[in-house]
Amino acid sequence: MRKIQLFFCVAILFVSCKEEGRKDLVKTDSIPSYNYAELAPLLSKNDGKTYVINFWATWCAPCVKELPAFEKLLDRYKGENVKVLLVSLDFPSQIESKLIPFIKKNQLKSQVVLMNDPDQDSWIPKISKNWSGAIPATLIYNSKKRVFYERSFEYAELENELQKFLN
């Protein structure tokens, strides 16, 4: 039930954002804003690195709760071929008032980008055919393996999953 509720929240978010002037919706240089076509290259790199990509939002309590695990993972694997990317599904109109203050308050060091594409029915199955659209959700991949997780993580669980890609 909770996943369905989160899915509908995300659906409402994207339906309420009109595509007209997509770049005009976000008036900031500090958080890159991507539609799916722009984000897609970050979801399929083949450069010898392992990518941990988390889909989250500031209004999602389980997402906020697990963010320290991703930050710890970033710190622990600094200097290794591991990249952490946080893809925010926050409202594009609230980037300055909510997202940026949240990042600063929580001192997030991971790269954060905003997913600004209202056609979630199109891009969600491209990320994973098994994704209902609920968040938090995480994609871990490298050139040899790709796994999508529609769930929350504690740090030990997240590191354990990452280790499966590094061994």
Q: Which domain covers residue 75, as residue numbers?
A: 2-17+30-166
Report the C-alpha gap between 84 and 151 in whole angstroms: 17
Q: C-alpha dihedral over 157, 45, 126, 102, to 10 degrees?
A: 60
- Per the domain annotation, does 23 fall within a domain? no
As averages over each run of 10 residues, the pLDDT of the chain (167 residues) reads: 43 40 42 95 95 98 97 95 97 93 96 94 95 97 96 97 93
pLDDT of residue 130: 93
- Per the domain annotation, does 148 fall within a domain? yes
pLDDT of residue 16: 39
Sign of CA dihedral 84, 85, 88, 93: positive
Task: Read off the CATH number of the domain in which 51 is found.
Answer: 3.40.30.10
- Per the domain annotation, does 47 fall within a domain? yes
What's the pTM value of the predicted model, to 2 decimals? 0.82
pLDDT of residue 30: 81
pLDDT of residue 5: 44
